[in-house]
């Protein structure tokens, strides 16, 4: 069953692994960027498995959070395309 997950990260040395991490996030499924360090993905993979997959890219001192972003949700200031993505992809 597909679900929307939120991925948040804080990289100790983004110049070393940001591009690799973002590429890996985008390969997880349909995605939308929430901000400078957060993405939503639509996937049938469990949050723990997504975390484990991303962990191969992380360095010492990096942090990542992967959780379910289920309805209802609320936001302010997101670009219109991201807001539409959320509405279209969150499960009832």
What is the predicted pLDDT for the residue at 32? Answer: 97
Burial of 63 (0-12, 13-18, 19+ CB in 10 A): exposed
pLDDT band at 18 (very low <50, low <70, confident <90, very high): very high
> 34-76 pLDDT, tens per residue?
999 999 999 999 999 999 999 999 999 999 999 999 888 999 9
The pair of three-digit structure tokens given for residue 45, joined into one six-digit string: 């993979």
pTM over 0.85: yes
What distance in Å separates the CA atoms of residue 89 and residue 6, rounded to the nearest whole number? 12
pLDDT band at 92 (very low <50, low <70, confident <90, very high): low
CATH architecture group of domain 3-89? 2-Layer Sandwich (3.30)
The H or E element that residue 44 is part of is none
**Helix, strand or coil for residue 63?**
strand
Sign of the alpha-carbon torsion through 55, 60, 62, 66: positive
Distance of CA 21 to CAs 3, 72, 77, 91, Å? Answer: 21, 28, 25, 26
Kindly calculate the radius of gyration of the chain based on its CA atoms and give it in whole angstroms.
13
Domain regions of the chain by residue span: 3-89
């Amino acid at each position: 069953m597909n679900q929307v997950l939120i991925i948040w990260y804080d990289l100790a040395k983004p110049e070393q692994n940001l591009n690799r991490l973002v590429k890996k996030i985008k390969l997880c499924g349909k995605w939308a960027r929430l901000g400078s360090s957060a993405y939503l993905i639509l996937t049938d993979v469990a949050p723990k498995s997504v975390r484990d997959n991303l962990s191969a890219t992380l360095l010492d001192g990096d942090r990542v959070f992967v959780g379910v972003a289920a309805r209802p949700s609320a936001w302010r200031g997101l670009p219109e395309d991201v807001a539409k993505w959320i509405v279209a992809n969150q499960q009832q």
